[in-house]
């Protein structure tokens, strides 16, 4: 196991810097996974940014990306698509540390969990300093049937205790098909919630992934303590966000949701003053 671990660290560092890669990274390089406000019991609310919208910038210059996020008033960043193409975790960790940011989660697809495996993804997130891991995507052939969603529930029931034992929290990030796939009058998402452990399987609720027929505030109340994070998009080039005050208030009242995560859903949206405006709007809502 130790040799495998060393091989992983070497691969994680490969291409990160023109330095000799040690046989084992000393603890002072990366330490233990960062304890996020969710885990620390801190009652303050935090604003994060889903880095999918600046993926190209992140690959080319992690330091400049984190500097931009810090200057725009963000508390943390959420990662996605780190395996394709594979991006070493250490330079991302060092860039976050330098600019006083923390990771507020990561998106791994179900396929990544199944093919890469829990140990590989835990090792990656350990180096990244991230203790919140998720499933954020089901391929088309993984959707569409009750059998699929019951199978996923079983997979998560087996996965989440192992993650918890190793210091990781698990959340699911919806997109929409979890609410358009309906079986016996129940959303596929609700079927997965009913068939997983409420103490181990949480939600990052993407409010844009709820159908118009669903009352978002009432659904948040229904989730209760299973609501872990709220995810919502920037609407326009002025930095306006889709979230409303009543949604923010309902999430705050859950008692477990402390990260409010912005995502650019406009690929060419500038990440300058418009992002700062998004953060200002949200912060005002959070502390109103």
Q: What is the DSSP code string of 93-118?
A: HHHHHHTT-EEEEEEE-HHHHHHT-H
The domains located in the chain, with CATH, are 2-17+43-286 (3.20.20.150)
Ranges under pLDDT 50 in the chain: 1-3, 6, 8-10, 12-42
Tens of pLDDT, residue by residue over 18-71, are: 333 233 344 444 444 444 444 344 458 999 999 998 888 999 999 999 999 999
Rounded-to-integer distance, Cα 133 and Cα 144, Å: 24
Angle between helices 89-98 and 62-71 (to 10 degrees): 30
Alpha carbon distance, N-terminus to C-terminus of the chain: 51
Q: Hey, what are 141's tokens?
A: 């052939």
249, burial (CB in 10 Å: exposed 0-12, middle 13-18, buried 19+)? middle
pLDDT value for 7: 53
Rounded-to-integer distance, Cα 138 and Cα 34, Å: 28
Rounded-to-integer distance, Cα 49 and Cα 239, Å: 13
Nearest partner of 173 among 201, 217, 206, judged by Cα = 206
pLDDT value for 53: 84
pLDDT value for 32: 45
pLDDT value for 17: 34
Rounded-to-integer distance, Cα 105 and Cα 80, Å: 9
Rounded to 5 degrees, what are φ and ψ at 12?
Answer: -65, -30
pLDDT value for 37: 42
Nearest partner of 167 among 213, 200, 216, judged by Cα = 200
């Amino acid at each position: 196991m130790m040799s495998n671990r060393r091989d992983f660290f070497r691969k994680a560092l490969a291409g990160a810097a023109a330095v000799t890669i040690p046989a084992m990274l000393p603890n002072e390089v990366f330490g233990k996974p960062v304890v996020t406000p969710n885990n620390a019991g801190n009652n303050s609310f935090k604003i994060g940014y889903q880095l999918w919208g600046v993926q190209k910038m992140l690959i080319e210059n992690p330091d400049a990306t984190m500097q931009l996020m810090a200057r725009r008033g963000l508390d943390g960043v959420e990662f996605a698509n780190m395996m394709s193409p594979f991006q070493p975790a250490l330079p991302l960790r060092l860039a976050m540390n330098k600019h006083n940011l923390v990771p507020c989660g990561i998106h791994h697809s179900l396929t990544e969990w199944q093919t890469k495996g829990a140990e590989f993804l835990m090792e990656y997130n350990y180096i990244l300093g991230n203790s919140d891991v998720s499933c954020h995507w089901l391929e088309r052939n993984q959707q569409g049937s009750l059998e699929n969603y019951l199978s996923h529930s079983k997979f998560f029931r087996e996965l989440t205790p192992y993650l918890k034992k190793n210091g990781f929290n698990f959340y699911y990030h919806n997109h929409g098909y979890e609410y358009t796939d309906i079986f016996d009058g129940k959303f596929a998402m609700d079927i997965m919630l009913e068939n997983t452990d409420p103490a181990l399987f949480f939600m990052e609720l993407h409010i844009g992934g709820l159908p118009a027929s669903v009352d978002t505030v009432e659904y948040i109340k229904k989730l209760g303590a299973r609501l872990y994070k709220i995810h919502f998009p920037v609407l326009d080039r002025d930095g306006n966000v889709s979230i409303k005050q009543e949604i923010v208030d309902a999430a705050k009242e859950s008692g477990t949701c402390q990260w409010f995560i912005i995502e650019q859903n406009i690929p060419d949206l500038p990440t300058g003053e418009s992002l700062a405006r998004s953060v200002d709007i949200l912060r005002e809502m959070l502390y109103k």
